[in-house]
Structure 1
Amino acid sequence: MAYELYYWDGIQGRGEFVRLALEEAQADYVDVARQSGPAMGTGAMLDLMKSKREPHIPFAPPFLKDGELIVSHVANILSYLGPKLGLAPEDEKLRCVANGLQLTITDLVAEVHDTHHPIATSLYYEDQKEAAKARSAAFISERIPKFLGYFEQVLQQNPEGPNHIVGDALSYVDLSLFQVIEGLRYAFPKAMKAYAADYPGLIALHDAVTGRPNITAYLQSDRRLAFNEDGIFRHYPELDLAP
């Protein structure tokens, strides 16, 4: 049976980290909210979340349905899928390391979201622009180098070499770091241009993932949604500052 991925239609968001793994592995999957027909569409996703029959309903998308099993949260989904898709280290200890790295990416993504919604998700961006400017300035000057510096160090200190963040082969964490660089470049192009020389390993990893045949095909397809100002990574020129 095909995997069923549930996430909001029209945005990459957190669901994109799961899509990249499924696309790289050429897994059989259905992006439920983007489909029409019986038991498809956003309505089907919301119905499942509110179900009175499912024993373990998810709090929020993204979540993955594999048969009767529902797996929620990006890092948890990728930890589950990684071994099945050949995108996780075979060594159990390294799989734990990979999960920790993915959880750190989750922390980063949450902070990216808060650059444009620092007060409340229930408010529009326009209702919190001044707070967003202050939050983004701190994020650019303090948090981007904190996170990317950490990942660069881990990459360079990988005993198997700096071609991958963990182990000696491509993992879902490599794919997620590609998405992080893509998203930050979209949201903060001035800042990322200034920082580019500081993280050569991450940039090389990003470029290597871009060149993988399955990823290249996906990026050129209509399955890859464009970044926009409804997702996690948003570009508001007034928030993009050179560090």
Structure 2
Amino acid sequence: MRYALYYWTGIQGRGEFVRLALEDAGADYVDVCRERGDGAMGAFLDGRAPGATPFAPPFLKAGRLVLAQTAAILQYLAPRLDLVPDAETARWKAHQLQLTVADLVAEAHDTHHPIAAGLYYEEQRAAARELAAAFRRERLPKYLGYFERVLEDAGGAHALGRHSYVDLSLFQLMAGLDYAFPAAMRRLRRRTPRLRALAQRVAQRPRLAAYLASPRRLPFNESGIFRHYPELDG
């Protein structure tokens, strides 16, 4: 199977969680918009292409299947790429954890767009400062503390007791948060040893290391989900 990944050019965004799974597994895939531009998604988003109509990217085309939503894409890919255990309970646990990652990603995004996604950051800066302060103080420690417990309960090395797409997503989560909230994340460093160790191990996986060192790994920037505005980092 050759997979086709559709996501906006110029940013990592939610598509990066899917891209990491494909890269780590050495899957045969094409990053369509990076080759053909964002316009390649038009027929799918307008409902003119065969298959289910996605609301927004990322979406994946596998044969005749068109599948959107990051967690759903990863749930589909994982057993095919050997990125999840065989047991049904483990697969549902993985999906649950991925959805929790998605919740934290959404809250991180809202720190710089607390009023409306259609407004520029500069138009909602005061509200962003207020929400970001609460995020750093309450939500970020709560989420990361939860994932620390997940790792501890699973033996410390992996979220599911063996390498899985959840580990890859936790790596991406930590990388994005380190970029957006470096000061806040430094303050939480002693409380997140397992997450830190996991992120280091994932980055050293041969295929991932090659990908991270390549031009295909776009840098974080102030157009994506994880944005660094110093005034939001305290």
Residue 210 (structure 1) aligned with residue 203 (structure 2) = yes
Shift, 1:214, TM fit: 0.8
Q: Is the 8 A contact 2:51 2:64 kept in 1?
A: no
Residue 157 (structure 1) aligned with residue 153 (structure 2) = yes
Shift, 1:90, TM fit: 1.0
Structure 2 unmatched runs, 5+: none
Hey, what does 1:20 align to over in structure 2? 20
For residues 53 and 221 of structure 1, do their structure 2 counterparts lie closer, same or farther at Cα, with a shift above 3 Å needed? closer
Hey, what does 1:143 align to over in structure 2? 139
Runs of 4+ in 1 over 6 A off after TM superposition: none
Hey, what does 1:95 align to over in structure 2? 91
Shift, 1:47, TM fit: 1.9
What amino acid is the match of 2:58? P
The superposition leaves residues 191-236 of structure 1 with CA deviations (integer Å, 9 ceiling, x where unpaired) of: 0011001011111101110111111100000100000000000000
Hey, what does 2:75 align to over in structure 1? 79
Root-mean-square deviation over aligned CA pairs: 0.9
SS of equivalent residue, structure 1 residue 121:
coil
The superposition leaves residues 15-51 of structure 1 with CA deviations (integer Å, 9 ceiling, x where unpaired) of: 000000000001011111110xxxx321111222113
Q: Is the 8 A contact 2:51 2:66 kept in 1?
A: no
- Distance in structure 2 (CA, Å) of the matches to 1:55 and 1:70: 6
Structure 1 unmatched runs, 5+: none
For residues 53 and 15 of structure 1, do their structure 2 counterparts lie closer, same or farther at Cα, with a shift above 3 Å needed? closer
Shift, 1:56, TM fit: 1.2
Residues matched between the structures, number: 234
What amino acid is the match of 1:22? L
Hey, what does 1:46 align to over in structure 2? 42
SS of equivalent residue, structure 1 residue 119:
coil
Hey, what does 2:180 align to over in structure 1? 187
TM-score, normalised by the number of residues in structure 1: 0.94
- Distance in structure 2 (CA, Å) of the matches to 1:223 and 1:209: 17
- Distance in structure 1 (CA, Å) of the matches to 2:49 and 2:230: 46
Shift, 1:55, TM fit: 4.2
- Distance in structure 1 (CA, Å) of the matches to 2:49 and 2:143: 41
What amino acid is the match of 2:227? R
- Write out aligned runs for 1:119-138 (5 A): 119-138=115-134
